[in-house]
Amino acid sequence: MSCDGACLDNRSPFCDNPPLTVIRLTRIAHVLNSETLSPAPRKARSTGQILGTGSTRDGIYERILNAVMEHRLIPGTKLVEEKLAGVFQVNRTRIREVLARLAHEGIVTTIPNRGAFIASPSVEEARHIFQARRILEPALIRSLVAKADSQQFRRLHAHVAEERAARETGDKRAVIRLSGEFHLLIAQMVDSPPLVKLMRELSSLTCLIILLYDSPNVPACPNHEHTEIVEAMEQGEVEAAIGLMLGHLDHIEATLDLSLEDEAEVDLHAIFG
């Protein structure tokens, strides 16, 4: 499942704009410090490495994105420029650049006079994101099957094996990140920077959606769906692979509780009456 690891039990409370959940600033340093929050050594590559974009310049961006992908930064978390500048030991202008990039990608929401927050996609936005993935990902599969070589399939199999190993050791953060990166890897192999960018945005937003709307009672996601997609692609069965991918995305969306009415008005009388 993609950060799509919709099966995980680390559900956050529902957050809506303006963000309700504001992690204390001191936590940001911990969240972004993998040594503090990820005691298990992380052998896996970072999202930036997966995408070949892990340059020094993108380091801060990649670390924040990784924290989102691993559910260490949750929707509604306030990102304070000054604190982030301290955490990463750079000036605020540099942080502002990163936040602007993340805001442009929809990962961060900027609220005038309040600052920047990890986005809290609405139910409507969540449905649009899945709709976009259902359009994009079959096209990626079609393109990849037409050009993939044996080395690329070996890499896909290795990635799925890494996911399986993370599940077996109970490393939920790695499972979440790796499952999201599976979809990014397909986009990367298609070798189209605009599509990689699009897939990365959709995958990151899916992570946030899962945090917001994951049903706490759903059973663990089946572990075999990525494997089946890779095998169908490897056998050149394009339509079967596309069908499996669409089924996979349907499954992820179905495990989420998107029944909440977006415009549902909070009943203040009921709350305070």
What does the binding site for Zn ion look like in residue numbers (CB under 5 A)? Answer: 1-2, 4
78-79 and 108-111 beta bridge pairing = unpaired
The smaller minimum CB distance to Zn ion, of residues 119 and 199, is found at 199
What's the farthest any 2 CA atoms get from each other in the chain? 65
What is the rounded CA–CA span in Å between residue 32 and residue 128?
A: 29
The smaller minimum CB distance to Zn ion, of residues 2 and 34, is found at 2
Q: Tell me how far, at minimum, the Cβ of 202 lies from Zn ion, in Å.
A: 12
- How far from 9 is each of 6, 20, 171, 172, 213, CA to CA, in Å? 9, 20, 12, 9, 11
Comparing every residue's Cβ against Zn ion, the nearest one is 2
Q: Tell me how far, at minimum, the Cβ of 130 lies from Zn ion, in Å.
A: 12
Q: Tell me how far, at minimum, the Cβ of 251 lies from Zn ion, in Å.
A: 9
Question: Within 10 Å of residue 91's Cβ, how many Cβ atoms?
Answer: 10
- How far from 133 is each of 95, 124, 142, 253, 273, CA to CA, in Å? 30, 14, 14, 11, 43
Enumerate residues 6+ apart whose C-beta is below 8 A from 21.
Answer: 12, 13, 15, 74, 75, 76, 77
Q: Tell me how far, at minimum, the Cβ of 4 lies from Zn ion, in Å.
A: 4
The smaller minimum CB distance to Zn ion, of residues 1 and 51, is found at 1
The smaller minimum CB distance to Zn ion, of residues 2 and 46, is found at 2
The smaller minimum CB distance to Zn ion, of residues 84 and 190, is found at 190
Q: Tell me how far, at minimum, the Cβ of 226 lies from Zn ion, in Å.
A: 6
The smaller minimum CB distance to Zn ion, of residues 1 and 207, is found at 1
- Among 103, 129, 139, 114, smallest CA distance to 18 is for 114
What is the rounded CA–CA span in Å between residue 52 and residue 64?
A: 16
Q: Tell me how far, at minimum, the Cβ of 179 lies from Zn ion, in Å.
A: 5
What is the rounded CA–CA span in Å between residue 226 and residue 236?
A: 16
